[in-house]
Structure 1
Amino acid sequence: MEEKKFKPFIPADRILPEITPVSIVLGILLAVLFGAANAYLGLRVGMTISASIPAAVISMGIIRIIMKRDSILENNMVQTIGSAGESLAAGAIFTLPALFMWAKESNAISKPSFWVIATVSLCAAILGLIFMVPLRSALIVEEHGVLPFPEGTACAEVLLAGEEGGEKSKLVFSGLGISTLYKFIADGIKLFPSEIDWSIKSIGSGFGADILPSLAGVGFICGKKISAYLFAGGILGWFVAIPLINLFGGTIQIAPAKVPVNELGVWGVWSNYIRYVGAGAVATGGIISLIKSLPTIIKTFKKAVGGFGHKEATEERTNRDLSTKFLLILALIIVVVIWLLPAIPVGLLGALIIVLFGFFFATVSSRMVGIVGSSNNPVSGMTIATLIIATALLKSTGHTGVAGMISAICIGTIICIIACMAGDISQDLKTGYIVGATPKNQQIGELIGSVAAALAIGGIMFLLDKAWGFGSKELPAPQATLMKLVVEGVMGGNLPWGLVITGAGIGIAIEVIGIPVLPVAVGLYLPIHLSTPIFIGGLLRAWFDKKGEAGKEAGENGVLFGSGLIAGEGLMGIILALLAIIPVSKGVSVLSTIDMGGKLGNAGGLIFFIALMALFYVFSKKKIKK
């Protein structure tokens, strides 16, 4: 069998340092850094990126070059701990901001406390680990060579090319520095607007772009195909749907808008109609993805259930997991905490729903990332399906109104984080399987990273909310807004089903012609201003991909530089949030005193973005010394 033939890079009988003070401290720092960066990115554009490869590269640059330490397993532990931050952040910011938005809309609701966010996030992250452990043998070992696990395999290749680590880490840090400076100029001193926009009155619509480094980086990492699907969704919304609504709406008032269509403007039409159509398409895409994966899901689910009953293999270091007894006790404690803790108002029914859906979607997520990678994992679809079912069940059992909606979001948050964590952990375990790490040590590393990220995410969310507020132009929180709309619509029975069903129909039509629904649906749901720069980044990646083997190194370099761009913008976003809440005088913040009001205008923004893309090209083409 394939798994018996495979020989890891570090044999099972060889012992190297893994969990060390250096790997723990550096891993925690990267977990917080990439957790903060992904939180900002997700709240700004509704997408997050995997941190495993940039974390591994940064680790190698610091450990091998600066500290002169030489253990591939120690480097692997750093990326294992570090990547936990971005996956936990992704699950949290896709859902929890809904609670902040409800608190602003009603005096009857208070914002969740720091400890509520930390507790919910930590419980979910640990459940994701518990549910993933019995899947390791089935997915990582038995199907080695069958499931590619793209990010996990790529991260292993980076670690194995250790002699290049110091040089390659410079690409990440270069991207981080350039992006930090660019973000400060655009959104700090506001020399030029970070969002350029043009009105097209002849068709009753508009066009524009958020000319930010992170979006170009996302597009390059995703590649041309996915970024083109996103852009196609944006075209469908802004050059088909919005013009049609303006053409036929005229002076008619159409719910949910409270004024006639011709008084809404382009953004009003998008807010009142297009995002509901997009929500229907996103939900349909997620459900279709789940239905298509049912055979493999059932197969994996059966293996996972059986995995809890197997005895731990202790004879080989590379096949040791955390004990089943420990995991079951830990799972029981977490379920009791979720059930009894007043801060997590889900009750016994909610706790049971979480266990059932959590284990199911952990298997779905782990299998999906093994096939299509973390970037294409339909976590949004899983969360929407959970929210619809959970809200309906809560409503039918008398848990209605505000309390019922809060419970539904808490359930959805935990499921979302479970799915994100399970997918990330499976990629990390795949990396470890290839390089010869100890699975048990990696699982302990995931626990360490989860605790650090859970404590950090609450502070990050409060900081960003105080600086700009969720749902604002600076932080639209598109995924959380979508989850909020779904819960409100199901609980209140006032969801504009005509628009949602229209989106579902579009999703089905896209599936019929053989195009992946989710990326197109997400592009339809988001403003075209976000998908435009993503598409430009994807076009740059396509340029290198056309060069064949000659462009392969440039593509790899670009992924590292793009990861730095994303991390740098996220880091500067946190710094700007701090400047926005530090007062100079009453009602005046540090950030407002350096505001130049976009003096260079759209033209200046275009020039800066072109310069950024030129730098992207130059650094991608840079030759790395072997």
Structure 2
Amino acid sequence: MSPIEQRPSLEDDELPSPSLAKPSPSPPSHSPELTLRALLPGLLIGTLLCFTNLYFGLQTGWISMMSLQSALLGYLLSLAPGFPKLPKFTPQENVILQTVAVATGTMPLAAGFVGIIPALGLLNVEDDGQPALLLGFWQGIGWAAAVAFFGVFLAAPLRKQVIIKENLPFPSGTATAQLISVMHSAPPSTLRHRRPAPTSSGGEYTALPTTTPSSDPDPDPESLPSADDSELSLTQLQADATQGWRALGWSFCASGLLTLGAYFVPVLFFIPVFDIFHRGLAREWLWWFSPSLSYVGQGIIMGFPITLSMNLGMLVGWGMLSPLSKLSGWAPGPVGDMQTGARGWILWTSLSIMCAESVVSLIPVVVEAVSLLFGRQKTAEEEEEEDEEDEERLVPTKWWAWGLAGTSVLGVLGVWAVFHDEGGKIWAVAIGFLMGGVLSVLGVRALGETDLNPVSGLGKISQLLFAVLQPGNVVANIIAGGVAEAGAQQAGDLMQDLKTGHLLHTSPRAQLYSQLLGSLFSIFVTVGAYDLYKRAYPIPGPAFPAPTAYVWLSLARLLRDGSLPPQSGKFMLASAGLAIAVAALKVRAQRSGYAWAKWVPSGVAFAIGFLNTPSFSIARLIGGVVEYAYYRRKGRGHEGIWLIIVASGFVLGEGTVSVLTLVLKTAGIGAATCWGCVDGVCPSC
């Protein structure tokens, strides 16, 4: 790792080129945008992402927006034989395609199917006073529909403030716009951010880190392919379209075949390699290695700093606190038991770190929002910019006002219809949507400044409120957090896409249509996929532990009765204090534009390392190292796109083949052999 130098705040003439703050000149009014050849591939790619995000979300609690990958896959698809070529596929169509794909692909988190819904299935009469709540298919449709659109209409009124007036960087949205402009040989004018774009962060939900190549061995979000490379990149991509599909194909097939092989021979994903150091590390302490190419691909997408933070958390949680709690008698059960074992004990430390970092990261956002609310004097540098879009391309005020009101009312009625008074009194559910709207504003601003949408932390803030409004009601507490999480994520998704569209002159109205279409379609895809997984596997269970479900439920129980496992309170306070200090340092460094800010550990990524067994984190670290080494060697240029293609193939391969293994499991076809498996490790044996 090269030495890291302190970088002061950048002035306009020091900002790296190119970075995008304003859109390029408007395209001709007849340029196609909302077309079938953009919408249909967007729905197809989004469906693949939906299955993939549900699969990995239930395994690890982490999903990705995948906007960069969606744009790249859409562009490669436009070069494929048989794709309608007249008129030429435009950058604006590519924006619409990735908007639809993102809206479809992120619904598993927006509707809580990787956390909230599994948490309700963990309820029991002894601990919670009521049995588990297991939603049927149509109940799932009702819940998802209730929360799927509220955040979409929240984004429209915020666009003018955060994108036009304040010109927040939204690093991943900016990176996606740059990639699209390079591929289409239509670079926006080289205009710069007023402020440097902060380094990308990670979390339970994070927009895709900007992994485009740079000559700097430690690329920043602004280190993107330059306008000068556009013609070369376009020529290369067109000439090598077959090579691009070949790279995507072999990486997809390699990951898929390995996944299928691991289904029939489970030891392939549960190699007890650490037993060479101490017998029983796999069976008793859950230390094994999973050579999953999809995890490697996710590590490439996350980037080296995030995977490093995750593995630091893994070492502290599973290498130090897990054996400490077990050997001290604080967690006497089996290590993997979430109730009495070390895995459940270290969860509390993870929860305190998540909450602490979320609060700290939101403080500057709240301060700035309050100052704007009370009419802070604008400097000459902050004068309001005019929106260059034509009026007929914008979302009319009455549209988003009626949409926001309508989706709020329908959402309240929908949640109450599914859960009745178990999910809270109808007035309390209404307050939950109001709270979700306020918290969504904070989430959007945090995403715009830091590239991190702290939806999990925002949901927990809502849980704290409902501990007062509906004391003792665990279900209402979890549902309130789910409503806030859904609103913040949907609003953040569309705002990130609106930034991309703003830079490439795509109609905000067309993007609203795209988001609504993707969300509507994904309701049925997500609920159907979850229903299939639930029929084939216990959720949570060995194959799909759904770690964030325990986080939601544990906090709800803590707020109800205040009980904690032995000695965990002391570690929670100590870890929260340390997380606050580190998060404050990171926020300060990011806002000042220091280059070393990205190397300050991400608290949420650190905490995710606690929630997942070591195998998940180790494989991702391999991907992070590959990403760092590749860009250090290749530097700036079109060649960096191939790493994104390969990483996408790795991730999509396992996610897609998991549907096949799901069918096999449902049909009663299991593992072919348990040879080499360690008792108690492989879920199939």
Same fold (TM over 0.5): yes
Q: Does 1:178 align with 2:258?
A: no
Tell me which residue corresponds to 2:26: 11
Deviation at residue 438 of structure 1 after TM alignment = 0.4
Distance 2:350 2:523 in 1: 31
Deviation at residue 189 of structure 1 after TM alignment = 4.6
Contact 1:338 1:344 in 2 (8 A): no
Distance 2:173 2:109 in 1: 18
2:289 aligned counterpart, secondary structure: strand
Tell me which residue corresponds to 1:239: 319
Tell me which residue corresponds to 1:351: 429
Distance 1:478 1:127 in 2: 26
- Give aligned-pair identity as a percent: 21
Instruction: Select the residue among 594, 604, 613 that pairs with 1:518.
Output: 604
Deviation at residue 508 of structure 1 after TM alignment = 2.0
Deviation at residue 56 of structure 1 after TM alignment = 1.4
Instruction: Select the residue among 465, 469, 480 that pairs with 1:393.
Output: 469
One-letter amino acid of the counterpart of residue 595, structure 1:
A
Tell me which residue corresponds to 1:571: 656
Instruction: Select the residue among 62, 80, 83 that pairs with 2:77.
Output: 62
Instruction: Select the residue among 363, 376, 381 that pairs with 1:291.
Output: 363
Deviation at residue 474 of structure 1 after TM alignment = 0.6
Tell me which residue corresponds to 2:308: 228
One-letter amino acid of the counterpart of residue 526, structure 1:
N
**1:104–1:596 Cα change, 3 Å:** farther
One-letter amino acid of the counterpart of residue 363, structure 2:
I
Instruction: Select the residue among 159, 165, 172 that pairs with 1:151.
Output: 172
Q: Which one has a larger percent helix, Structure 1 or Structure 2?
A: 1
Q: Deviations over 1:590-625 (max 9, x none)?
A: 2x1x522255989xx9xxxxxxxxxxxxxxxxxxxx
Q: Deviations over 1:49-79 (max 9, x none)?
A: 1221222122222234331432222222111
Deviation at residue 330 of structure 1 after TM alignment = 2.4
Matches within 5 A, 1:246-325: 246-249=326-329, 254=330, 261=332, 264-265=334-335, 269-298=341-370, 316-317=389-390, 320-325=393-398
1:198 aligned counterpart, secondary structure: helix
1:423 aligned counterpart, secondary structure: helix
2:674 aligned counterpart, secondary structure: coil
Contact 1:486 1:495 in 2 (8 A): no
Tell me which residue corresponds to 2:299: 219
**1:504–1:215 Cα change, 3 Å:** farther
Instruction: Select the residue among 122, 129, 148 that pairs with 1:125.
Output: 148
2:468 aligned counterpart, secondary structure: helix
Contact 1:63 1:75 in 2 (8 A): no
Tell me which residue corresponds to 1:50: 65
Q: Deviations over 1:160-207 (max 9, x none)?
A: 213337454554444322211111111245362345463546999563
Matches within 5 A, 1:407-422: 407-422=476-491
Instruction: Select the residue among 261, 268, 279 that pairs with 1:192.
Output: 268
Most deviating of 78-87 and 484-493 = 484-493
Q: Does 1:454 align with 2:454?
A: no
Instruction: Select the residue among 104, 118, 122 that pairs with 1:85.
Output: 104
Tell me which residue corresponds to 1:75: 94
Distance 2:131 2:286 in 1: 38
Contact 1:57 1:169 in 2 (8 A): no
Tell me which residue corresponds to 2:221: none
Q: Does 1:33 align with 2:48?
A: yes
Deviation at residue 507 of structure 1 after TM alignment = 3.2
Q: Does 1:527 align with 2:607?
A: no
Matches within 5 A, 1:95-106: 95-102=116-123
Deviation at residue 511 of structure 1 after TM alignment = 3.8
Tell me which residue corresponds to 1:465: 534
Instruction: Select the residue among 398, 404, 408 that pairs with 1:335.
Output: 408
Q: Deviations over 1:91-121 (max 9, x none)?
A: 3223221123337999844411223322332
**1:288–1:500 Cα change, 3 Å:** farther
Contact 1:132 1:422 in 2 (8 A): yes
Q: Does 1:209 align with 2:293?
A: no
Contact 1:318 1:437 in 2 (8 A): no
Which segments of 5 or more consecutive residues in structure 1 lack a partner in the other structure? 304-312, 583-588, 606-626
One-letter amino acid of the counterpart of residue 122, structure 2:
M
Instruction: Select the residue among 510, 515, 526 that pairs with 1:441.
Output: 510
1:207 aligned counterpart, secondary structure: coil
**1:232–1:469 Cα change, 3 Å:** same
Tell me which residue corresponds to 2:593: none
**1:502–1:440 Cα change, 3 Å:** same
**1:25–1:211 Cα change, 3 Å:** same
Tell me which residue corresponds to 1:539: 625
Deviation at residue 13 of structure 1 after TM alignment = 4.7
Deviation at residue 271 of structure 1 after TM alignment = 2.5
Q: TM-score, normalised by structure 2?
A: 0.75
Which segments of 5 or more consecutive residues in structure 2 lack a partner in the other structure? 1-11, 13-19, 185-233, 376-385, 586-599
Deviation at residue 349 of structure 1 after TM alignment = 3.0
Most deviating of 91-100 and 205-214 = 205-214
Deviation at residue 47 of structure 1 after TM alignment = 0.6
Deviation at residue 40 of structure 1 after TM alignment = 0.7
Deviation at residue 423 of structure 1 after TM alignment = 1.6
Tell me which residue corresponds to 2:5: none
Aligned length: 561
Deviation at residue 38 of structure 1 after TM alignment = 0.5
**1:300–1:343 Cα change, 3 Å:** farther
Distance 1:280 1:437 in 2: 41
**1:220–1:529 Cα change, 3 Å:** same
Instruction: Select the residue among 436, 440, 455 that pairs with 1:362.
Output: 440
Deviation at residue 222 of structure 1 after TM alignment = 1.5
Tell me which residue corresponds to 1:586: none
Distance 1:600 1:343 in 2: 42
